[in-house]
A = this chain, B = another copy of it.
């Protein structure tokens, strides 16, 4: 039987970790996370065998969220906005969630444990969105997934590094998107 306080603490740790990891990325310290959760390090370790495991838990959850959004956008019918919105969302996410970006390396995760199916799923989701957008003539037909991924990753990394004010990021993204659109002959 799992004790009630245990579940409660687990949640607190998760929440604190999400916060701290978002702020400091992979360099965040375990005791800092514990402190913010109002809990001892021991407790953190009781719930997550290792720092990496803790990260994995968080990243996994977040990626799942993104995947859901991708699905929803896809069924919205508007391929052009679906694609650009999703990409934007990823980048914006990166602004806050340092750890996520790290883990987003090549559109997925490889944070050890099996979870690599997420990587595939994310890849598939993006491919679908891209192809739809291309079919709709909203994205030039000659860019492929790897290229998009590289750009996306670059944007996320830049965003993640934090010292850019939002408007600058917006403008940068705008430029990038313009580059992705088909040239008007």
A binding-site residues for B, Cβ under 8 Å = 105-106, 143-144, 146-147, 150-151, 153-159, 161, 163-164, 168-169, 171-172, 175-180, 183-185
Contact between chains at A151 and B164 (CB < 8 Å): no
Among A156, A178, A184, the one with the most B-chain Cβ atoms within 10 Å of its Cβ is: A178
Known: A175-B143, A175-B176. A158 touches B169 (CB 8 A): no
In the bound complex, CA of A143 to CA of B173 (Å): 11
A-side interface mostly: helix
Copies in the complex: 2
Known: A151-B158, A154-B172. A164 touches B146 (CB 8 A): yes
Expressed in whole angstroms, the minimum distance between the Cβ of A113 and any Cβ of chain B is: 20
In this complex, what residue of B is CB-closest to A157? B157
Expressed in whole angstroms, the minimum distance between the Cβ of A160 and any Cβ of chain B is: 9
